[in-house]
Amino acid sequence: MMLLLALLQTALLSAARAVTVYGQIPFGQTSALSATATATDSPRPVQTLAAYDETILDPPIPPQDQALTFTLHLSATNATVPNLSIMQHGSFYGFSIEISYLQVPFLNLLGQIQQRAGGMHIRIGGNTQDFAYHVDHIDGGYATSKETKDARNPTLTPAVMYTDELFNIAANISSLVNVGWYFGIPMNDTNWRLQIAERSQAILGERLLGLQAGNEPDYYLGHRHRIEPYDAYEYTEEFDSLVQAIQDNRNIPIKNMLIGPSLAAGPWLPERLWSTGYLDKFKDSLKIITMEQYDELIRYFEAHTNLKP
């Protein structure tokens, strides 16, 4: 059946001449693995991207030892509920994708999430954003491409080049599903490359939610992106220089959508940065205050699957 479906898909794809599909490895993985599974196999996760996993899990029997009648004391208004957070939207949880990883099948997942949460926020960036640079054209119509491997990045991710297509893809996705975007301004050095800010504002308009200024700067020294001395004070100085460069750039009409400081709270505790006056100094440029936390759950996920989240 899988084979038939795969053939059918191939036939459909070849009939639709206007569609170009790059690197659909997940299709291959799914069919190869499903073909080797036997009917006697008990349900278990199939080694493929979650979007293509056809496993149906049997729900466990509901616990029988629960009280089915109980009294809940609910306040008539939220005014008397102690310690309530500010109201959160369905898009409170979002995705973070390295620039080089944006893939078309992701759209299906977004559609599913939109049905439940109303919309999504996606951040495009990470270690790759700091060395990314804009080019006018990449052969074959690709939106991103990579240089040869670069040991400067902790993940050994090579520098990514991107074209306007990166933002066109984002804009196209947002024209289909309710998605807002965060991009990151490269900060591997302070010869500011502001094309990400220029092009994302021009192409994405109000779908652009913010621009990250620095990605885990407290690791810049450790990752050898900076030489000593490099501490919260130096980062604050660089942030100032970036704010100035944006002020002076006529192709970046919205000046106050920066996101920072995105500390990993590794080498620097947030207080170390606050003591430089960062928050007060940049309150007119900052739209969002962020911290980054690499969750234990992700490590667990990586250790127990062959997937990189």
Ligand X SMILES: *[C@@H]1O[C@H](CO)[C@@H](O)[C@H](O)[C@H]1NC(C)=O
Could you tell me if 126 and 151 are in contact, meaning their C-beta atoms sit under 8 angstroms apart?
no
Q: Interface with ligand X includes 220 (CB under 6 A)? A: no
Decide: is 290 part of the binding site for ligand X (CB under 6 A): no
The pattern of x and - marking residues 111 through 150 that bind ligand X according to CB under 6 A reads: --------------------x-x-----------------
Three-state DSSP at 96 gives strand
**Pairing state of beta strands 258-263 and 208-213?**
parallel
Give CA–CA dist 208/202, Å, rounded: 9
Kindly determine how many residues on this chain lie close enough to bind ligand X according to the rule CB under 6 A: 16
Residues pairing with 134 in the sheet? 162
Identify the H or E element spanning 37. Answer: none
Residues 177-216 that bind ligand X (CB under 6 A): 188-189
- Closest distance between ligand X and the C-beta of residue 110, in Å? 15
Q: Does 86 bind ligand X (CB under 6 A)?
A: yes
Residue 262 binds to ligand X (criterion: CB under 6 A): no
Per CB under 6 A, 175 contacts ligand X: yes
- Least Å distance, CB 189 to ligand X, is 4
The answer to the question of residue 74 lying near ligand X (CB under 6 A) is: no
Q: Is 80 in the site for ligand X (CB under 6 A)?
A: no
Using the rule CB under 6 A, is 78 a contact of ligand X?
yes
**What is the distance between the alpha carbons of residues 68 and 305, in angstroms, rounded to a whole number?**
38
| DSSP code, position 62 | P
CA distance 68 to 90: 29
Stretch of 167-175, 250-258, 264-272, 289-297 contacting ligand X, by CB under 6 A:
167-175
If one asks whether residue 168 binds ligand X (CB under 6 A), the answer comes out as: yes
Instruction: Say which residues have a Cβ less than 8 Å from residue 258's Cβ, sequence separation at least 6.
Output: 210, 211, 212, 213, 242, 243, 246, 282, 285, 286, 287
Per CB under 6 A, residues contacting ligand X are 78, 82-84, 86-87, 131, 133, 159, 165, 168, 171-172, 175, 188-189
